[in-house]
Structure 1
Amino acid sequence: MIKRLLLGLLLFASFEAFAQNKLSENAEMSLITVAPGDELYSGFGHSALWVEDKSKGLSVVFNYGTFDFETPGFYMKFVRGKLDYMLSAGSLSYLVNSAKAEKRTVIQQKLNLSLTQKNEIYNFLLNNIKPENRFYQYDFFFDNCSTRFRDLLEDVLGNGLVWERDAEGLTFREYLDIYLANKPWQDFGIDLVLGQPTDEIADKRNEMFLPDLLMLHFDEATYNGNPIVEDKIIIYEAEEEEAKLGFQILPEYITWFLCLFGIFLSVRHHKSNLSDVWFNRLLFVISGLVGCLIFFLWFLSDHVATVNNWNIIWAFPLNVILAFILFKKPAKKWHTVFYAIFGIAQFMILGFFYTLPQAMHAAVLPIVLYFAFKSFNLLYRTKKMNV
């Protein structure tokens, strides 16, 4: 959940710089939660684990979910879901200063653990941060900076750890919508590429993929009947910024404009022979390119959440090619067959738009509406194209 190796966070030059055999009785272990930031890469927050042992002069923050921009083929590996993320370690002051610069609140939860449990967790992290162990296959929902600490505590505490807080009952996509409420275009793009798995309801464990939810579950968690959090401290509280009021161009404004403009062109074509071919070709090319991306993420990447994407019904990858084959005179028989099949598919999406197994973004509705209208409009017009 971090764009780079935690900007401003010190990476220790050597593993031995902070490796200690055992923690002392005075050692403290805390879950650190950094609030969401304004940028997309920081928009979901961040989790870290702080180990402090003043008697040994030890203070180190462990962070999962960090990566290196210098990785060869970085962007292609990122898109394909093959980018290696790593466990890194550094100073709390650098993490806090970075959060202050981005106006993000930092909260500490001191964990009520025995010395044995603290040492087990600490030794696991020391072993995990070794060069041969520190890299892992990141997954935004199921294996990120938050879920790693959830899993670690579950492994160490076993059945004695009970997550008492009930799940919110929201899907993964609904959680993303909440966090992306002020980023409508990013929300639109993410909605387009995430498939049906994103619409599964997240249970109490799975909703901890969000640092905020992990923190809330730790607040109410117990170990053998005792609270797992013994103290909660706000290390830095960012001032709340007033919501910026003003007109914002939303994706659905653009798609409704395109839909109505396309219908207008079709009506004008019927009355004055004003050609709308260029407009239809443009929409087909754009939808086809979106479809190619959906196909790539579905079949050629390791991302779990991008499979079974129903948007491929309207964002058909072959539209990129069909844009330059269709809309010609004389119309061929297969043109008619395509318009009929494509149009029926769009009408089916319209009829079940709000009951599909996958929730589609509101901006998709006018696109599907136009494609449905245009398919049957062209189906009618092909009868005259050969005249």
Structure 2
Amino acid sequence: MKRFQYIFKSTLLVFLLSLTHSIKAAQASPDIYGDSMKISLLTCSPGHEVYSLYGHTAIRFQDLRNHQDLIINYGIFSFKQKNFILRFIFGLTDYEMGIIPYQLFYEEYRSEGRWVKEQILNLSSEDKQNIAIAIDKNYIPENRIYRYNYFYDNCTTRARDILINNINGFVDYHYNQQLITTYRDEVHQWNTQHPWARWGNDLLLGLQADKLISNEERQFIPDSLSKDFQHATVSYAHGKIKKLVSNSLYIIPPVQTKDIDNGFLSNLSPNIVMICIIVIIITSFLLQKKCKLYYLLPHYLLWTVTGFCGIILTAMIFSQHPTVSFNLQIFILNPLNLLLLFPKFQNNRNFQYVMITCYALGCVGSFLQTYADGIQLLAFVLLITNLFSLKFSWKNGTNY
């Protein structure tokens, strides 16, 4: 999602410490939450960094009478956190709520060439007061840090919840029917133009990412939440019904940008790489009678890479992210592949049976789970080549 630049940290420290006091002072005068107060949902376009490919959501809080214009952001994190990568893998990443002046937020997104859409919410004075109190409470030091989860608890769902949960009415999104979609499908809509990011996501996401999700569960994506807000209405106890969004506009309009061609590497898709690997495997298998080295060299490299990938997938079993803990690709990208680097296991038929079983389960699993590009084909090739190797070992009394 969105990470605010560190350069602001020191200059804003004194200002940020005073924000909570300002909001609290406003709570003593509920009447100001009329025409002088605006609360908006901000939706930002995707960026170029991996963590920003899916856009960002923030809340704009304006008090025109007291000349306040603030951005409430639930997407602050730092790569400088101790063991950040390991914590992220195991679902132990902490994100933080932050508040900065609107102008700094505006300048940052304008400099990055990213559009920002504002949806001004059609709220009562009481709703605005409730949201202000909730934001104030959320911003105290012991509450502002939360355990981040990309699908279930991120900067978009946090912004949605603090708004929706403090409206004294029922928010109806007017869904006509249940969409047939999954977490993986929703992610694919935003990383299609970034094949290696998509490949990495598909490699780490497991079977749970392919289960059907509800319309509201789609709201972890900023654009989905924005569209739902646009069509939503609020029904109050006294019978009044009104639109949730009173006005929608671009505070930073979209601009047409040219795709950057990074040359050969930008066109080297995961599919092309996987096909090349599979061609090498098949060729080395066919040439093994001429020279055993032709077979062993590419396979040693393959066993090493897939084995270490398997270690990563095995570690993901212990992650707190539910969508990565059960990943059927582990049967192909298997840590047991590392044992094949040792002749003792290469020449052990029982171990060959184990690996063939794993590859077979991997092939079957591809019908239950969406694999990263090329992994399904890799599983099939490994299964076939190992079956032939086993056949030759029985015929010749050796593995090869």
Q: SS state of the match for residue 125, structure 1? A: helix
Equivalence map 1:348-387=2 (5 Å): 348-350=361-363, 353=366, 355-356=367-368, 358-383=369-394, 384=396, 386=398
Deviation per residue, 1:106-152 (Å, 9 max, x gap): 01000000111111111111111111111111110010111112222
Give the Å deviation of 1:161.
1.1
Instruction: Write out per-residue CA displacement over residues 267-323 of structure 1, whole angstroms, 9 at most, x where no aligned residue.
Output: 111245553112112111111111111111122x22222111011111111222332
Q: Within 5 Å, which residues of 2 pair with 1:53-202?
A: 53-157=63-167, 160-166=170-176, 168-202=179-213
Partner residue in 2 for 1:221: 232
1:39-63 deviations in Å (ceiling 9; x for gaps) = 2111111111111011112111100
Contact 1:170 1:201 (C-alpha < 8 Å) held by counterparts: yes
The alpha-carbon deviation at position 158 of structure 1 amounts to: 5.5
SS at match of 1:36: coil
Following the alignment from structure 2 to structure 1, what is the Cα–Cα distance between the partners of residues 78 and 398? 59
Q: Deviations over 1:330-371 (max 9, x none)?
A: x3xxx2122233224424543563x31x11123212311221
The separation in 2 between residues aligned to 1:215 and 1:8, in whole angstroms, is 28
One-letter code aligned to 1:279: P
Cα distance change of structure 1 residues 46 and 106 upon mapping to structure 2, 3 Å threshold: same
Structure 2: unaligned runs, 5 residues or longer: 236-240
Q: 1:68 to 1:261 in 2, by over 3 A?
A: closer
Distance change >3 Å, CA 109–CA 6, structure 1 → 2: farther
**1:2 pairs with 2:12:** no
- After superposition, the Cα gap between the structure-2 partners of 1:284 and 1:385, relative to the gap in structure 1 and judged at 3 Å, is farther
Equivalent residue number for residue 233 of structure 1:
249
CA distance in 1, matches of 2:59, 2:284: 59
Cα distance in 2, alignment partners of residues 35 and 201 from structure 1: 26
Count of residues in Structure 1 that have an aligned counterpart in Structure 2: 379
Equivalent runs, 1:288-303 vs 2, <5 Å: 288-299=307-318, 301-303=319-321
**Of 211, 216, 220, which residue of structure 2 is paired with 1:205?**
216
Moved more, 154-163 or 137-146: 154-163
SS in structure 2 of the partner of residue 130 of structure 1? coil
SS of 1:68's partner is coil
Q: How does 1:28-39 map to 2 (within 5 A)?
A: 28-39=38-49
Could you tell me the percent identity over the aligned residues? 25
- Superposed CA RMSD: 2.3
Counterpart AA for 1:318:
L
Q: Which runs of 5+ in 1 are unaligned?
A: none
Normalised to the residue count of structure 2, the TM-score between the two structures is: 0.88
The whole-number CA distance in structure 2 between the counterparts of 1:368 and 1:379 is 16
TM superposition score normalised by structure 1: 0.91
Structure 1: how far apart are the matches of 2:148 and 2:364?
37
Counterpart amino acid of residue 197 in structure 2: Q
Q: 2:352 aligns with which of 328, 333, 339?
A: 339
Q: Which residue in the other structure is 2:26 paired with?
A: 21
